[in-house]
Amino acid sequence: MAKLMANVPVQKNQLIELDMTGQGHQGEGVGRYRDYTLFVPGAIAGERVKAKVTKVNKNYGFAKLIEIVRQSEQRTEPPCPLYHRCGGCHLQHMTYEAQLAHKRQTVVDALTRIGKLEDVTVHPTLGMDEPWRYRNKSQVPVGLVNGKIVAGFYAPGTHEIIDMEGCPIQHPYSDEIVNTVKRALADLGIPPYDETGHKGLVRHIVARVGYATGETMVVLVTNGRNIPRVDELIRRLRNEIPHVVSIVQNVNTAVTNVIFGPHTITLWGKDGIEDRIGDVRFFISARSFFQVNPIQTQVLYDKALEYAQLTGRETVVDAYCGIGTISLFLARRAKRVIGVEVVEEAIEDAQRNAELNGIMNAEFLAGEAEQVIPQLYAERGLRADVVVVDPPRKGCDEKLLQTIVDMQPQRVVYVSCNPSTLARDLRFLEDRGYETQEVQPVDMFPHTFHVECCSLLVRKEN
């Protein structure tokens, strides 16, 4: 190893000065020092900085920003006082216009580098008029620091909880809920969770907000079933959070970083909250996936509808349908929609949402998309005119992609939260008879490095 590292021109803790020539996909500045690549979080392309080397690998390393020698015009002062300590945001030091341009470039880089897609049209990122207070869901870990109950996001690369009173990207109701629960736990002597010894009770506070309705839900994720003084806790939350309609407990006793456990109990009120995107109503339970930015969700789904080009005669398959968000938008324009989702509670919500909106032509099936859809194709001869996929960050399973190819839909609408796996999957479909016509990035998560994309693929005529 020492021999392999002999040609590396820097060493750990060395102070250096270098120019930033690019931006990494997680927003960090990228520069070269004597032909050696260094990633510097907080730096911006075009800047010259002083940095302290923190990690050295054979081909690249990392450094901590110490001083900005020459500042970029794209730099701005982060409005959040915790920005440089908290790991929730990554790009508040960049102007919003620069963030949008960076996210588009991230998509272009992934398509060309991973997907070898050189000629695909990637549109400018669709941003927000007001890119603050957009998140309708907050889930923060709870802990004890110097005898005080704290709740907030983790510091980058650690499990150190940065206690916060407010967050500028969360809905104000979420801040109110987290602060109210923290005070109540302290006053009632309900212990927070200690992950080092797997002791204590309250692991996470989750707040969900109906943007259009104002309804809110409080979820307490606990390391055990019994909550001491639970009746007093419920009464206090009801009194101090006037818009709360649902108080829920989720039990997670596993030694894990996964937030939710398998058992959910409604302690008071409804089993969920209601919200709307456009004129489509949704019932959302504690564990259901629902896009966290409802304003941009409508932008994204309008684009998916545009790409689907529905006339009312189509059969549409919606893989990874969640609680039916995209499915119900599609069903109003299609002959038939079949949605598939692995989380059974989400399928129950999807069925309820179809009834809520009087939609009769949407069918929802529980199971893994990569298992259910191939089975529908093989055993029931299912054919689809349009397939919509909105997978998790890992992208689509190859078995599902192959089934899409076998079904031969005219159009595939691929909604993605990860440009890298999107590029990989587009390449798979391109090699099997589909052409990627365009990609539309949408800024669902302002001030973070995440970017959502909606892509249109069309089947090539033989």
Domain CATH code at residue 179: 2.40.50.1070
298 with 345, same domain: the answer is: yes
Q: Are residues 307 and 246 in the same domain?
A: no
d(C-alpha 74, C-alpha 71), whole Å: 8
Pairing of strands 263-269, 280-285: unpaired
Structure tokens at 349: 């919500």
- 264 within a domain of the structure (yes/no): yes
Alpha helical stretches, state H, 114-218: 172-188
pTM of the model: 0.92
Rg of the chain over Cα atoms, rounded to whole angstroms, equals: 24
Q: Is residue 99 part of a domain?
A: no
What is the number of structural domains in the chain? 3
The pLDDT, as a whole number, for residue 96 is: 98
Domain membership flag for residue 84: no
**234 and 301 inside one domain:** no
Residues 284 and 207: their CA atoms lie apart, in Å, by: 12
Same domain, residue pair 53 and 121: no
Please, what is the end-to-end C-alpha distance for the chain in angstroms? 53
Same domain, 314 and 414: yes
Burial of 226 (0-12, 13-18, 19+ CB in 10 A): exposed
* Catalytic one of 86, 89, 417, 453: 417
Residue 20 sits in a domain whose CATH number is: 2.40.50.140
Residue 413 sits in which domain range? 108-128+293-459
Residuewise pLDDT in 10s, the chain (462 residues): 455 566 899 999 999 999 999 999 999 999 999 999 999 999 999 999 999 999 999 999 999 999 999 999 999 999 999 999 998 999 999 999 999 999 999 999 999 999 999 999 999 999 999 999 999 999 999 999 999 999 999 998 899 999 999 999 999 999 999 999 999 999 999 999 999 999 999 999 999 999 999 999 999 999 999 999 999 999 999 999 999 999 999 999 999 999 999 999 999 999 999 999 999 999 999 988 889 999 999 999 999 999 999 999 999 999 999 999 999 999 999 999 999 998 888 899 899 999 999 999 999 999 998 889 988 888 888 889 999 999 999 999 999 999 999 989 999 999 999 999 999 999 999 999 999 999 999 999 999 999 999 999 999 975
Looking at the fold, whether 243 and 364 belong to one and the same domain comes out as no
Let me know whether 169 and 262 are in one domain. Answer: yes
Residues 362-389 as b or e (16 or more Cβ within 10 Å = b): bebbbeebbebbbebbeeeebebbbbbb
Q: Tell me, yes or no, whether 411 lies in a domain.
A: yes
pLDDT tens for residues 421-432? 999 999 999 999
Query: Would you state the pLDDT for residue 1?
Result: 46
| Three-state DSSP class for residue 172 | helix
Judge whether 441 lies within some domain: yes
Secondary structure (DSSP) of 67-114: EEEE--TTB---S-TTTTT-SS-S-TTB-HHHHHHHHHHHHHHHHHHT
What is the pLDDT, as a whole number, of residue 346?
Answer: 87
CATH number, position 400: 3.40.50.150
The tokens 């009834």 sit on which residue? 355
Answer whether residue 302 is part of any domain. yes
Give the sign of the dihedral formed by CA 126, CA 127, CA 128, CA 134: positive
Looking at residue 6, what is its pLDDT? 64
Residues 207, 239: one domain?
yes
CA atoms of 459 and 435, how far apart (whole Å): 6
Please write the tens of the pLDDT for every residue from 231-266.
999 999 999 999 999 999 999 999 999 999 999 999
Q: Which residues of 66-83 are buried (b: 16+ CB within 10 A; e: fewer)?
A: eebeeebebbbebebebb
Last residue of one domain, picked from the residues 277, 311, 332: 277
Amino acid at 105: Q
> Is 6 a domain residue?
no
Residues of the chain by 3-state class (helix, strand, coil), percent to 5: 25, 30, 45
For 262, 295, 358, 367, 373, the CA distances from 286, given in Å and listed in that order, are 11, 21, 23, 19, 27
Residues 144 and 123 in one domain: no
| Domain-embedded: residue 316 | yes
Whether residue 366 is found in the same domain as residue 402: yes
Could you confirm whether 417 is annotated as catalytic?
yes
Same structural domain for residues 315 and 354? yes
User: In terms of domains, do 437 and 349 share one?
Assistant: yes
